[in-house]
Structure 1
Amino acid sequence: MAGKIIVITGANGGLGRALAQRFAGDGETVVLLGRSLDKVRAVADAIGGSALAVECDVTSADSVRAAFAEIARTHPKIDALINNAAIFKPFLVEEASDEQILGAVLTNLAGPIFCSRSAIPMLSRGGHIINLSSESIDEPFAHLTLYQATKAGLETFGVHLHAELGEKGIRVTTVRAGQMMGDGTTMPEMDPVAMERFFEASMKRGLNLMARGISQYHSTTAIFRTLLDLPPDVHVGVVRFQSRVLD
């Protein structure tokens, strides 16, 4: 049986890279999307086989259209889209620049919408769109208003898109993720003062970020594997996972 063709955004590092490695290791064909072609190409080259790297800035509708047109030249039909690309950068709304606001909205919400729109005509019946959300929408994180709002919007988008695509036999699932890390993980780039404010404000809300568990990226890929292996008569709308503090 031929493997699945899985498109992953934000695949140059972090969870996106771990997913690409996992699925390729399982015998699937992975298509890696990222803003930097050099970075996603390096990941694809390391994976080897039929891994395909495609340049794609999810904040640009034109870039997304071009990326999926390029994918279609090699893979006219795909089995899954994982909307993983996102920006996580704490800041206060009253202090936010136009670039920070637009960056969050375009990357975290409009980007998955652009990618889903382009992927839908290419998805086979039984195909799957998986959107990455965040535990932060239900937790008292500070200085993440735009991140939380865009992730909450993405969850709502997923619910109604699933209903819209019902007749096409395409499922849409939200994965509400806990804190993750892996090899080469770094904190979002921000000045030390902003970082300190973020931790202190979260602590005042009763959230000790230093005491929270952290899952490894490669551990969480099992969740996505399970979702893509669901039988056709089963749908999971939302998966929530949290990280554990290990003894």
Structure 2
Amino acid sequence: MPGKIIVITGANGGLGRTLAQRFAGEGETVVLLGRSLAKVKAVADGIGAGALAVECDVTSPDSVRAAFAAIAEHHPRIDALINNAAVFKPFLLEEATDEQILGMLLTNLAGPILCTRSAIPMLNRDGHIINLSSESVEEAFPHLTLYQSTKAGLETFGTHLQHELANKGIRVTTVRAGPMMGPDTVPEMDPMAMGRFFEEAAKRGLDLMARGVSQYQSTTQIFRMLLDLPPDVNVGVVRFRSRVPD
């Protein structure tokens, strides 16, 4: 049986890269989307056969259309779209710049919507759209109002899109994830912003240092399970939390 064709956004690093590496290693064909072609191409080159790198800025409708047109030249039909690309930066809304607000809204919410719109005509029956959300939508994390709102909107989008696509046989799943990292993870948060974030979290009774952090490689098992669901099974939402191993 031929492998699946899986499109992954934000595949130049982190979870997206780890998913691409795992799926390609298991015989699937992966299409890596990223804003920097050089970065996703480096990942694709490292994977080798079965990986295609395509430049895509998910915040731009024209870039998304061009990216999926490029995918169609190689793979007219696909089996899955994993909307992984996202921006995570804590800040207070009153202090936010226009770029911070628009960047997060466009990347975290509009981006998955734009990619999904382009992917729907290409998805096979029994195809799958997987949207990555965050445990923060239901927890009182500080300085994440806009991030939480974009992820909550993404969850609502997935819930209602499932009904819209039911007659096409396309499944839609939200994965609500806890914190993750990999062996080469480098914190991207400004040290001052990080300090304020941890300080305010402590005031709310959240000891972030005591919370577990899952490894990217471990969490890929959840996505593998979802892509291997039998045709008569649908999973609307998966929630997972990190834990501290014994």
Whether TM exceeds 0.5 here: the answer is yes
Q: Is the 8 A contact 1:140 1:206 kept in 2?
A: no
Secondary structure of residue in 1 paired with 2:176: strand
Alignment of 1:1-247 (within 5 A): 1-190=1-190, 192-247=191-246
Secondary structure of residue in 2 paired with 1:89: coil
Aligned length: 246
Structure 1 gaps, min length 5: none
1:122-168: CA deviations, max 9, x gaps? Answer: 00000000000000111111000010000000000000001000000
- Cα distance in 1, alignment partners of residues 139 and 163 from structure 2: 27
- Cα distance in 2, alignment partners of residues 235 and 224 from structure 1: 13
Amino acid at match of 1:21: Q
Secondary structure of residue in 1 paired with 2:100: helix
- Cα distance in 2, alignment partners of residues 197 and 240 from structure 1: 27
- Cα distance in 1, alignment partners of residues 193 and 22 from structure 2: 35
Amino acid at match of 1:222: Q
Structure 1 runs of 4+ with >3 Å offset: none
Q: Is the 8 A contact 1:133 1:177 kept in 2?
A: yes
The structural deviation recorded for 1:185 is 0.8
Under a length normalisation based on structure 2, what TM-score does the superposition of the two structures give? Answer: 0.99
1:34-86: CA deviations, max 9, x gaps? Answer: 00100000000000012000000000011000000000000000000000000
Q: CA RMSD in A?
A: 0.6
Under a length normalisation based on structure 1, what TM-score does the superposition of the two structures give? Answer: 0.98
Percent identity over the alignment is 78
Q: Is the 8 A contact 1:181 1:217 kept in 2?
A: yes
- Cα distance in 2, alignment partners of residues 52 and 69 from structure 1: 13
Structure 2 gaps, min length 5: none
